Amino acid sequence: MNLHDYLYYIILPILSLSSLVVFIRFLIGPGIVDRVVALDLVITIGIGIIAIYSIINDKPTFLDIATILALIAFLGTVAFAFYLEKRNKKDE
């Protein structure tokens, strides 16, 4: 078993299973905060999947997309936190 097969048949299934498990939490999560955190974690694991996928296909260009995904994950979390907090806040 060479490196390509190892990544393709062992590492990628582990990562996709974990993103599936996080998606279960996204569906059942009791509060909206749990859903935001689950979305953040799905995107973070997606960055790892992109890194492994770029090794398998021997194309380092895919890593640019990982950069942008990291940016979007952070912006999404901050925006959700900001507006959820604002919803219940009463200014003087």
Give the residue among 78, 58, 82 at the shortest CA–CA distance from 70. Answer: 78
Residues 6+ apart with CB under 8 A from 61: 54
Give the residue among 17, 85, 77, 25 at the shortest CA–CA distance from 48. Answer: 17
Site string for another protein, 15-54 (x = CB under 8 A): x-xxx-xx-xx-----xxxx-xxx-xx--xx-xx--xx-x
Site string for another protein, 70-89 (x = CB under 8 A): xx-xx--xx-xxx-xx--xx
Min CB(80)–another protein separation in Å? 7
Tell me if 60 contacts another protein by CB under 8 A.
yes
Give the residue among 80, 73, 11 at the shortest CA–CA distance from 44. Answer: 73
Per the CB < 8 A criterion, the answer to whether 15 and 44 are in contact is: no
Task: Return residues touching another protein (CB under 8 A).
Answer: 3, 6-7, 10-11, 14-15, 17-19, 21-22, 24-25, 31-34, 36-38, 40-41, 44-45, 47-48, 51-52, 54-55, 60, 63-64, 66-67, 70-71, 73-74, 77-78, 80-82, 84-85, 88-92
